[in-house]
């Protein structure tokens, strides 16, 4: 509990300072080099990350796996945190393309992809069915729990399974139709995903292990969600709130 409170306070302070100083540091990501032929300077981007063998796995699933979107998201993440292939932090996969075995696709192949990697955490966006099974297999090999955070955004997997597998689950709001059937909102929040992903990766890199599933967890998720109103997810059958499952309203 103490560690989660410290991370929340640290993250809030750092992002608050970053916003206040944004105008003063808008050119901090560039360096000037001399161009003797043209007699002027050329601005080149500075590397914003250090060489490392650690990595954060980002898995793009249903609703967030089209080529244009994943290309844009990976470009943004690589710029800020580096691609694993270049010694950076981001290890990215797209479902179903990266999970094929013959003519079939299995999200459980994630375990093979991550074997031997020095993982800091995993982020799912649009996790497909049976994602929780893949996580459960890795948990079993680590004595019942993983030593790093697992975040899940807009999951398509089994609700209870994802709640058990992830540190937190953040979903779209749901509403009941006239016949009582629960209907998920169509909004995908694609425009807000980049900021959420950036914050999620940064918070994982700041953490030293998984986050506790307690009453303070919602404050942490609210920081990731930005200006959105975040509430606990209520089970439609029992009407009981889930400790680590939240919805954007």
Q: What is the pLDDT of residues 144-184, one digit of tens each?
A: 999 999 999 999 999 999 999 999 999 987 654 444 444 45
Confidence of residue 42 (pLDDT cuts 50, 70, 90): low
Predicted local distance difference test score (pLDDT) of residue 224: 95
**β-bridge pairing 182-184 and 230-234:** unpaired
What are the contacts of 11-19 at 24+ separation with CB within 8 A?
11/199, 11/202, 11/203, 11/206, 11/220, 11/223, 12/223, 15/199, 15/223
Asked if the model's pLDDT at residue 132 lies above 90, the reply is: yes
The reported pTM is 0.81
Confidence of residue 186 (pLDDT cuts 50, 70, 90): low
Instruction: Report residue 91 CA to chain centroid gap.
Output: 12
Predicted local distance difference test score (pLDDT) of residue 67: 96
Q: Taking residues 53-57, report their average pLDDT.
A: 96
């Amino acid at each position: 509990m103490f560690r989660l409170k410290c991370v929340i306070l640290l993250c809030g302070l750092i992002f608050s300072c970053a916003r206040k100083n944004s105008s003063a540091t808008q050119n901090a990501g560039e360096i000037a080099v001399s161009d003797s032929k043209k007699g002027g300077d050329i601005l080149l981007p500075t590397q914003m990350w250090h060489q490392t063998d650690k990595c954060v796995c980002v898995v793009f699933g249903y609703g967030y796996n089209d080529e244009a979107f994943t290309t844009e998201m990976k470009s943004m993440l690589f710029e800020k945190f580096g691609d694993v292939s270049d010694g950076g932090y981001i290890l990215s996969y797209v479902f179903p393309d990266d999970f094929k075995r013959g003519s079939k696709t299995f999200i459980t192949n994630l375990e093979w992809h991550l074997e031997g990697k020095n993982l800091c955490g995993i982020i799912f966006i649009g996790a497909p069915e049976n994602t929780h099974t893949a996580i459960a297999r890795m948990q079993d090999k680590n004595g019942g729990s993983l030593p790093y955070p697992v975040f899940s955004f807009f999951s398509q997997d089994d609700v209870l399974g994802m709640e058990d597998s992830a540190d937190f689950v953040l979903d779209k709001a749901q509403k009941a139709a006239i016949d009582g059937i629960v209907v998920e909102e169509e909004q995908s929040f694609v425009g807000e995903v980049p900021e959420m992903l950036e914050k999620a990766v940064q918070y994982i890199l700041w953490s030293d292990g998984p986050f506790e599933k307690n009453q303070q967890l919602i404050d942490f998720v609210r920081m990731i969600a930005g200006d959105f109103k975040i509430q606990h997810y209520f089970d439609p059958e029992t009407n009981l709130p889930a400790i680590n499952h939240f919805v954007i309203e």
